[in-house]
Structure 1
């Protein structure tokens, strides 16, 4: 990566950090049995003293999930790297339904959300996002042979088909905007079951998740090719990141500081993410920031970063 791009990204990160109001933060004890120092005002020192950070996860492969008793996934591997650099030895997890991730965070049940959550304006009103770490595409899990020949979001609009979506996920929003008939499911396993049972004609989710889901099952299903959804003529530029409470400014800024060198080094990013199926297609472009995505002007983002060229 050229020094010009590196400087551009670093300046973008510093600019994003400068708009956060610094507050006096005090270490807090956990609010309930689900927390580990998770009250508002959590600092790096709080977590270092505890020796662990408790992150919420949704159980969605390949982002964050459990294999037996082991917490794993791409965002967990990234957190292990970043929090390790901050002197926090262990990453522990609390599995939580998707729609409860941010409410549980703000209630102090855990310290952050590590679920590859898309940075959306409405979510930015409720919580604070780290800089973008994963770019998103969309795909469908369909019955083997793709009998409805689904290829992109336009192929389900006005089709009369029923699409399974994770409640509160970005694909749920696409469906509401375009009038697509849906059923909501709690997680990817429920989405798979909806397609296998015939309750849904397809399950819409991020491309990386659909590929992982199709590869992990012996059921007669397959993944369509991934695509960038176009809604009302606008490419839906999407990226996910770690989520923090708005009051945890010091922790967010410390996380971003250690995240920046990884985002500026594609090889390092791939070293962490590639074992979970991520490729250069999911690597965030230089100049993309959480602030840009929180503003929500996707057409402007595509134009400024040349993502449609």
Structure 2
């Protein structure tokens, strides 16, 4: 009788341990989904990558790609959460949303704090400058030599790596602030992806223009991806599997065309997130 009781206790202990392990592996996002809660997408107001539409729906090519992949995984209960760019990583870590969809570059410094899925786009850089580019600013070396002020947010590290004086770098929360700084003359150039600064220039009524991305150093290319909590590895693996089937497909290219995303933006197969985290 005693032996039987010991055996039953042992079996129950193993079962409980297995359940606890499964819960630990699942991660907070899987737990939310199991509880019937929506998947919360966190992003800043960053046209054309991610922003709120007129009816409060998530818009932008990163958001649309995310929604498509999640739908293929069977998830369509979504809640958008718009915040400032600087609040994205802290917000994810604090559990205020579940996925950062703001077109965030995959960088080593960020890989220490969040877990990125495989990249969804590759982008070079360009400057937003006054029409005619009166100070002839084409790249970070030009900023360094001329001693002028540049504004940006995701590209700040490239200016610093080129030796630009930190006092000449205006770090701003996002694209609207880049536009305002260059328009007001507080910055001589604003750095960003060609598609981003192109959008800003298009709305300036000819007062601003975009420099040639080819003038930028080759190592200025970055890859963008979605960021998750480091505890959501199981979900990330499933997301990557669905993303692999979707990225570059006719369905995807049709969905993102209106945002300016072209085949030139596809991330390619040569560099995965592990490599990018170690080299950017």
User: TM-score when scaled to structure 1?
Assistant: 0.77
Q: Is the 8 A contact 2:125 2:220 kept in 1?
A: no
| Structure with more helix by fraction | 2
Matching of residues 1-309 of structure 1 within 5 Å: 24-25=22-23, 41-43=28-30, 46-47=32-33, 49-50=35-36, 52-68=38-54, 69-166=56-153, 169=154, 171-180=155-164, 181-218=168-205, 220-227=207-214, 229-230=216-217, 235-263=219-247, 265-296=248-279
Q: Deviations over 1:194-249 (max 9, x none)?
A: 1111101011111111111222343611222224742xxx6233100000000011
Q: How many residues align?
A: 256
CA RMSD across the alignment: 2.2
Q: Distance in 2 between matches of 1:27 and 1:49?
A: 16
1:153/1:273 CA distance change after superposition, 3 Å: farther
Alpha-carbon offset, residue 131 of structure 1 = 0.4
Q: Which runs of 5+ in 2 are unaligned?
A: 1-20
Alpha-carbon offset, residue 159 of structure 1 = 1.4
Q: Distance in 1 between matches of 2:88 and 2:195?
A: 20
| Structure with more strand by fraction | 1
Q: Which runs of 5+ in 1 are unaligned?
A: 1-22, 29-39, 299-309
2:7 corresponding residue in structure 1: none
* 4+ long deviations beyond 4 Å: none
| SS of alignment partner, residue 281 of structure 1 | helix
User: TM-score when scaled to structure 2?
Assistant: 0.84
Q: Deviations over 1:66-92 (max 9, x none)?
A: 233332000110011011112221432
Q: Distance in 2 between matches of 1:84 and 1:48?
A: 16
1:91/1:159 CA distance change after superposition, 3 Å: farther
1:154/1:267 CA distance change after superposition, 3 Å: farther
Q: Is the 8 A contact 1:152 1:227 kept in 2?
A: no
1:305 corresponding residue in structure 2: none
Q: Is the 8 A contact 2:152 2:190 kept in 1?
A: yes
Q: Distance in 2 between matches of 1:269 and 1:191?
A: 29
Q: Is the 8 A contact 1:137 1:228 kept in 2?
A: no
Q: Distance in 2 between matches of 1:227 and 1:65?
A: 28
Alpha-carbon offset, residue 178 of structure 1 = 2.2
Q: Distance in 2 between matches of 1:238 and 1:27?
A: 31
Query: Which stretch shows the higher mean deviation, 197-206 or 174-183?
Result: 174-183
Q: Distance in 1 between matches of 2:270 and 2:130?
A: 39
Q: Deviations over 1:241-300 (max 9, x none)?
A: 00000001111111111101122x44343223222001121111123210110111x6xx
